Chains A and B, each alone.
Chain A
Amino acid sequence: MDTTPPVAGAPASGANVPEFSVSEISGAIRRTLEGAFGRVRVRGEITECKRYPSGHIYLSLKDESAKLESVVWKSAVPRLSVQPENGVEVIATGKLTTYADRSKYQLVIDRLEYAGEGALLARIEKLRVRLAAEGLFEAGRKRVLPGLPRVVGVVTSEAGAVIQDIRTTIARRFPRRILLWPVPVQGQGAAERIAAAIEGFGRLPHDGPIPRPDVLIVARGGGSLEDLMAFNEEIVVRAAASCPIPLISAVGHETDTTLIDFAADRRAPTPTAAAEMAVPARADLLAALDQTGARLRGAAMRQRRAAETTLLRLERRLPDIPARVLEYRRRLDEAGESLPDALRAFVRLKRDALAPLAVPHPRESIAARRHAVALLDGRRVAAFARCVQRLRGARALHAFSAAPVLALLRERRAMLAGASRQLEALSYNAVLARGFALVRDAEGEPLTRAAAVAPGARLSIGFADGQVVATAEGEAPRRAKAKKGTEQGTLL
């Protein structure tokens, strides 16, 4: 390659060296550099990465002994499959150019890719540690998948085997409605589209025209680590972690692990396995239902038998209520019948207690004496008659003497006179003859105290020779206080 610069001016005196202006030499270097290298691929670790408000990204690529300043113009940024960040080893594709103002050269990058799996894995691990520290992967955040979802949402590519596998698996197990949100699963902008799909499903209203899924499957088929990188991007991992719908991740083959797997509620090794997790097998459900039904019937039968046994035991221990009611009836009838008799007995007892204390009326006393006299007289007449009868029947009638009979009569008459005198002595008539009077109330009951007479009361005053009716006048005198212990107690 000819690197001899074109002659721009005459050689200086005494020298065979060409002379350039600053602009000339800068332009010459630029042309030489760009002409010699054209487009290049440079491997190095990103450092000093800065994104400016203008949209351009300035960074440096370094290795053990050198550093190359680089730039990604705003127009190229959206086309990058790898977003530049410090510490990541990349292969940058672009062209070398000079920056004349500062006598610098730089690499203008239009494509970035990770420099081998080691670099990718290091970056993934670094992000995993950071997100784990935030608590995005904690078990407490995981939600339980619904038992039988009505709608299954799927985020994957519209073309390819993945969606077909999911469809056929769900149709075979338990047909459910499937909503597909198609996205690119690799390459430029895939991560942003996947994150937007997850968030979009989460924002669907429960009662909107498009039904909100009960479970989400985020899936793609197998591929290289770089192919799966969209599912390792922070934007996708955060969308999965904050999704309000239970989410199953099924990215790559069983051996592949992406960061979305850590954030998902369940991880499936394949898209088919994800569909099996999302929807139960109808046959299994029916079998489980039959088994549960049989267990329920068995339990009910056992419970019923146990209840019957308990009931029988209790029945035997039940008291004989009808017998108890009859016993109560007997006791009530007995007490009820005895009640009037008991009161009558009470009154009788009181009357019996009163009898010995009763003071007989003089009339009763006289009548009793008169009755006694009459009895005696009757006995006298009967005795005399018997005596005469005996005498009549006697043979020695001529020997009869009246003297004993007359003596007996005299004796009886003397007894009668004595009894009459005794009666007179007991009678109040003798007292009346001495000037006393017997005062009775309107009912004929004797009055013994002035305090018992109310003003205006009708009185009957008995003298020795007859009765006089009178009316009480003036105030009733106050009853004198009885001496302590002299007042008679109540009988009742």
Chain B
Amino acid sequence: MVDTPGAEASRPIDGLSFEEALQELEGIVRELEGGQGKLEKAVAQYERGAALRRHCETLLAEAEQKVQAIVDSAAGPTLRDAG
């Protein structure tokens, strides 16, 4: 399959992993800072960037919650032999 520019933008955000979404968001920021391309595309990219950020926030919040739970349980009591 040949990659076409902007192909990743067509992928539904819900289906992206955290790493994929973050990578795409960083790419959008770099592209906007470069000032290349059309204004319409820039606005669309900004819009997708905002959605990607929300998606990343959700996933990261879940991960942070899980890690916290694991850390808390690890600090708690451990199982021992009753025998």
Name 6 interchain pairs, CB-CB below 8 A, sorted by A.
A332-B25, A335-B22, A339-B25, A339-B50, A346-B32, A347-B39
Interface residues of B in 11-64 (CB under 8 A from A): 18, 22, 25-26, 28-29, 32-33, 35, 38-39, 42-43, 46, 49-50, 53, 56-57, 60, 63-64
Among A295-329, those with CB < 8 Å from B are 321-322, 325, 328-329
> Residues of A contacting B33 with CB < 8 Å?
338, 342, 345-346
Contact B71 A342 (CB under 8 A): no
Interface size on B, residues (CB 8 A): 25
Whether the Cβ atoms of B49 and A339 lie closer than 8 Å is: yes
Give chain B residues whose Cβ lies under 8 Å from the Cβ of A339. Answer: 25, 28-29, 32, 46, 49-50, 53
How many residues of A sit at the interface, in one of the four size bands?
Answer: 20 to 34
Interface set of B (CB-CB < 8 Å, partner A): 18, 22, 25-26, 28-29, 32-33, 35, 38-39, 42-43, 46, 49-50, 53, 56-57, 60, 63-64, 67, 70-71
Contact present for A346 and B42 (CB under 8 Å): yes
Q: Which of A321, A328, A335 contacts B18 (CB 8 A)?
A: A328
CA distance A328 to B62 in the complex (A): 13
Number of A-B contacts (CB under 8 A): 66
Main secondary structure of the interface of A (DSSP, over half): helix
**Residue on A nearest B35 in the bound complex, by CB:** A349
| B80 shortest CB reach to chain A, Å | 12
**Chain B residue nearest to A340 in the complex (CB):** B46
- Rounded to whole Å, the gap between the CB of B81 and the closest CB of chain A is 9
A165 to chain B, nearest CB (A): 46
Cβ contact within 8 Å between B46 and A335: no
Q: Is the CB of B64 within 8 A of A343?
A: no
- Please state if B22 and A346 are interface contacts (CB–CB under 8 Å): no
Most buried by B among A338, A340, A345: A338
Closest partner residue, chain A, to B18 (CB atom): A328
Smallest beta-carbon distance B72→chain A, Å:
12
Task: Determine the distance from Cα of A321 to Cα of B67 in the docked complex, in whole angstroms.
Answer: 7
B42 contacts across to A, CB distance below 8 A? 343, 346-347
Contacts of A56 in B (CB 8 A): none
- A404: Cβ under 8 A from any B Cβ: no
Residues of B within 8 A of A325 (CB): 60, 63-64, 67
Tell me the complex Cα distance, A349–B34, Å: 9
Identify the A interface with B (CB < 8 A). Answer: 321-322, 325, 328-329, 331-332, 335-336, 338-340, 342-343, 345-347, 349-350, 492
* B26–A342 touching, CB < 8 Å: no
Given contacts A322-B67, A345-B32, contact A335 B60 (CB under 8 A): no
Taking the closest CB of chain A, its distance from the CB of B17, in whole angstroms, is: 11
How far, in whole Å, are A462 and B57 apart by their CA atoms in the complex? Answer: 59
Residue contact A345 to B60, C-beta cutoff 8 Å:
no
User: In the complex, are the beta carbons of B32 and A332 less than 8 A apart?
Assistant: no
For the complex, give the distance between the alpha carbons of A339 and B53 in Å.
Answer: 9
Bound complex: CA of A199 vs CA of B60, how far in Å?
77
Give the CA-CA distance A345 to B28 in the complex, in Å. 13
- Whether the pair A492, B18 counts as a contact (CB closer than 8 A) is no
Min Cβ gap B45→A in Å is: 8
Chain A residue nearest to B24 in the complex (CB) = A335
With A328-B22, A332-B60 as given contacts, are A350 and B29 in contact (CB-CB < 8 Å)? no
Which residues does chain A contribute within 8 Å of B64, judged by CB atoms?
A: 325, 329
Chain A residue at minimum C-beta to C-beta distance from B68: A322
Q: Can you add 16 more A-B contacts, CB < 8 Å, to A339-B49, A349-B35?
A: A325-B64, A328-B22, A328-B63, A332-B53, A335-B29, A336-B53, A338-B33, A339-B46, A342-B28, A343-B32, A345-B33, A346-B35, A346-B39, A346-B42, A347-B42, A492-B38
Q: Which of A343, A349, A350 has the most CB of B within 10 A?
A: A343
Residue numbers in A under 8 Å from B56 (CB-CB): 332, 336
Give Cα A336 to B38, complex, Å: 22
Q: Which of A331, A342, A492 contacts B32 (CB 8 A)?
A: A342
The residue in chain B whose Cβ has the minimal distance to the Cβ of A297 is B83
Q: Nearest 4 pairs between A and B by C-beta?
A: A349-B35, A342-B32, A492-B39, A336-B53
Chain A residues near B60: list those with CB within 8 A: 325, 328-329, 332
- CA–CA, A340 to B49, complex, Å? 10
In the bound complex, CA of A350 to CA of B56 (Å): 30
Find out whether the CB atom of A331 lies under 8 angstroms from the CB atom of B22. yes
Residue of chain B at shortest CB distance from A491: B39
User: Which one of A321, A332, A340, A345 has the greatest number of beta carbons of chain B within 10 Å?
Assistant: A332
Q: Is the CB of B53 within 8 A of A322?
A: no
The docked-state distance in angstroms from the alpha carbon of A440 to that of B71 is: 72
- In the assembled complex, which residues on chain A have CB atoms less than 8 Å from the CB atom of B39? 346-347, 350, 492
A448 to B28, CA, bound (A): 40
CB distance from B40 to the nearest CB of A (A): 8
The contact of A350 among B35, B53, B63, B70, by CB within 8 Å, is B35
